Amino acid sequence: MIVFVAISTLHAENGHQLWLRNRNPLPVTVNVVGAKSSAIISTAQKELQEGWQGKSGATFTLTLKSDKAILKDGFRLTANGVQANTEAGLLYGAYEILRRQQTGESIKDEVCNPSYEVRILNHWDNLDGTIERGYAGASIFWRKDDPFTVTEKDKQLWQEYARANASIGINAAVLDNVNSSPLILTADYLNRVKAIAEVLRPYGVKAYLSVKFSSPALVGKLKTSDPLDSEVIKWWNSKVKEIYTLVPDFGGFLIKASSEGQPGPQDYGRTHADGANMLADALKPYSGLVMWRAFVYSPNDKDRAKQAYNEFMPLDGKFRDNVIIQVKNGPIDFQPREPFSPLFGAMKKTSVMPEFQITMEYLGHSTHLVYLSPMWEECLQSDTYQEGKGSTVARCTDGSIYPQKHTAMAGVSNVGLDTNWNGYLFNQANWYCFGRLAWNNKLKSSDIAEEWLKLTFANSVSDKNSEVKNNDWEKNFLQPVKQMMLDSREAAVDYMMPLGLHHIMSANGHYGPGPWWAPKGMRADWTPPYYHQVDSIGIGFNRTKTGSDAVDQYHEPLASQFNDPNSCPDGFLLWFHHLPWTFKMKNGRNLWDDMCYRYDRGVQEVRQFQKVWDKAAPYVDSERFNEVQRKLRSQSTNAVLWKDACLLYFQQFSKMPIPYDLERPVNNLDEMIENDTRRRR
């Protein structure tokens, strides 16, 4: 049951408190009996004392005692206490009980174990304070002016950040961009890393760094960065030692190598395994990890979607056991919908971890409301069939199927200096659900959305309406807003890239449509026409056996299912097939008409979200209500632009009418193209 308080004047709801608003109307005392004194356990005690909403005067015990049923940083929860093998486990248990008290979830005796050992945010933060693909202000870690002074304000923010992470089970953060600067390995920056790590530590969050593969040459002034060169090996060994002297619990390195212009082992005729293993050996004595990204593609290949698999499969089994290959959820690049990367489940002798993008590079930045949990759930629950039916991506990466030494899940962070951290209230839900899914990869998007909504909006009553009843809130706010969140990803797919279309966004910041964009001399695989392949006959990328044969990278029965347009799921149709405009869809429509209906459906859904939100007005403080209302209006406008741009552009090839029961375009194609091109100049 949620407790509601009638408050006539509410203080500002600027979103800074995230899901930890924890409005406790009455001070409730609890006697927390701690296991021993340590920084992490003190955090747990403090959280319990400040947030307790159970029985007043209750005694709650934190017990550090090993138990075979408890794995990693898991815990055993009872109404009277938490037991764990690790201090972090006690902290997660404390957050769990507080969350359940606030959301009204039952508290029964149970063991909760994390799905992944490392639950990590990747910050694409540059050392000058900018953030690549960041839509929530500048970096919380780095800044251009006075870059090495650590202020009290910095520390407070880092502490709030660490607390938010810990409260949802995130236990690691890569502090700098994968397109990394070699300067991160110089003394001043490493000292700042030390300062950050010290603030994160009491919350069980470990610092990791992204490093440039050519650092030995760039920073160490060596002649080469060849991973097999003995001077290079020595240089990394001593650099790693220096880092651990400053940060004894340092987590390890994340590397983007031989990818999008970044240096890598291939520059020296070596393999990814040579490069990763050299770093892994340097980190091994300190139990550090190497997260080596599989995001590789070259302009020379005919199908970008196949390349990571082709490059990494021959290396399966060749990596050290403290290397994890970090694989984006889909084979191309965080598009609104992609099939899962065929590397999942296929690499059987190597640790593999999924990488999801929390920041909304391709999904409307911090303007569109798109709840990402359904997209990640779809990927995690995809069956790879690699070890028989039920070999889901989740089970192939969390150690259930393969005996991988380390398991992890990464999310590209959407955190910035904006007061509300994420640039949009609803983007907080994406940080939240990433943490929750990394903790438990079987959770349902719907349950996570419900938790988040309760934590974020309960007790938030419009100043115009001071008496809102509990059951009204559930029915009039929680249910419809939850449904809106659950529908939001599919809506975005519909108005942006339905039916398996992908990578047709504007090159201009990746916001808005750009199916036309293909300047002379540009790498083809950076232009939309490479992906949609539109012509007078039809549309889509032929990845079947008669095309690039990317289908063959999937285990049967998927290879055959994807290969046949009649059995290929609609969501992946144009990902795998180039089909004629008149192709008959499962619903009886021809392809062109179906595409038109889908674009239109996406637009209509956003219009519907506006109605849902307007009706939610009595249940939300005006500050947050207005923010969301404004953003939904922009999202609607942008959804119409997507629909008009894509339909009018593709119509030049299909030469078929937009079905007459659909609303007519309101934008002109040449003006849209002109605007898009002008902005880019």
Q: Which are the catalytic amino acids?
A: 260, 333, 361
Number of residues that bind ligand GCW (CB under 6 A): 11
By beta-carbon proximity to ligand GCW, the closer residue of 295 and 576 is 295
Q: Is 334 in the site for ligand GCW (CB under 6 A)?
A: yes
SS3 for 324?
strand
Instruction: Assign residue 261 a region (left: φ > 0; alpha: ψ between -120 and 50; beta: otherwise).
Output: left
Q: Is 132 in the site for ligand GCW (CB under 6 A)?
A: yes
Q: Is 376 in the site for ligand GCW (CB under 6 A)?
A: no
CB 323 within 8 A of CB 282: no
DSSP annotation of 477: I
By beta-carbon proximity to ligand GCW, the closer residue of 76 and 304 is 304
CB 341 within 8 A of CB 328: yes
Q: Is 297 in the site for ligand GCW (CB under 6 A)?
A: no
Secondary structure string (H, E, C) spanning 161-215: HHHHHHHCCCCEEECCCCCCCHHHHCHHHHHHHHHHHHHHHHHCCEEEEECCCCH
Which of 19, 92, 124, 541 touches ligand GCW (CB under 6 A)?
A: 124
By beta-carbon proximity to ligand GCW, the closer residue of 80 and 130 is 130
Nearest distance from C-beta of residue 664 to ligand GCW, angstroms: 34
By beta-carbon proximity to ligand GCW, the closer residue of 117 and 333 is 333
By beta-carbon proximity to ligand GCW, the closer residue of 414 and 636 is 414
Nearest distance from C-beta of residue 606 to ligand GCW, angstroms: 24
Instruction: Write the CB contacts of 437 (distance below 8 Å, at least 6 apart in sequence).
Output: 373, 376, 377, 380, 409, 443, 448
Which of 203, 236, 295, 439 touches ligand GCW (CB under 6 A)?
A: 295
DSSP annotation of 590: B
Q: Is 142 in the site for ligand GCW (CB under 6 A)?
A: no
Nearest distance from C-beta of residue 131 to ligand GCW, angstroms: 10
What is the Cα–Cα distance from 16 to 329, expressed in whole angstroms? 30
Question: What six digits make up the tokens of 37?
Answer: 């004194």
Nearest distance from C-beta of residue 382 to ligand GCW, angstroms: 21
Per-residue DSSP letters for 2-29? ------SSPPP--STTGGG----SS---
By beta-carbon proximity to ligand GCW, the closer residue of 204 and 265 is 265
Binding mask 243-262 for ligand GCW (x = CB under 6 A): -------------x---x--
By beta-carbon proximity to ligand GCW, the closer residue of 209 and 585 is 209
Packing angle of the helix pair 622-654, 425-439 (nearest 10 deg): 80
Packing angle of the helix pair 591-615, 479-496 (nearest 10 deg): 150
Q: Is 333 in the site for ligand GCW (CB under 6 A)?
A: yes
Which of 76, 100, 133, 489 touches ligand GCW (CB under 6 A)?
A: 133
By beta-carbon proximity to ligand GCW, the closer residue of 139 and 542 is 139
**Exposed e or buried b for every residue in 59-97, given b needs 16+ CB within 10 A?**
ebebbbeeeeebbbbbbbbbeebbbbbbbbbbbbbbbbb
SS3 for 495?
helix
Nearest distance from C-beta of residue 206 to ligand GCW, angstroms: 21
Question: What six digits make up the tokens of 127?
Answer: 């050392």
* Residue with the CB atom nearest ligand GCW in the bound state: 333
CB 503 within 8 A of CB 524: no
Nearest distance from C-beta of residue 673 to ligand GCW, angstroms: 22
By beta-carbon proximity to ligand GCW, the closer residue of 255 and 438 is 255
CB 305 within 8 A of CB 548: yes
Nearest distance from C-beta of residue 460 to ligand GCW, angstroms: 35
Name the residue type at position 446.
Answer: S
Nearest distance from C-beta of residue 388 to ligand GCW, angstroms: 32
Binding mask 167-186 for ligand GCW (x = CB under 6 A): -----------xx-------
What is the Cα–Cα distance from 370 to 42, expressed in whole angstroms? 37
Nearest distance from C-beta of residue 333 to ligand GCW, angstroms: 5
Per-residue DSSP letters for 53-103? -SSTTEEEEEEE---TTS-TT-EEEETTEEEESSHHHHHHHHHHHHHHHHH
DSSP annotation of 108: -
User: Footprint of ligand GCW on this chain (CB under 6 A)?
Assistant: 124, 132-133, 178-179, 256, 260, 295, 333-334, 361
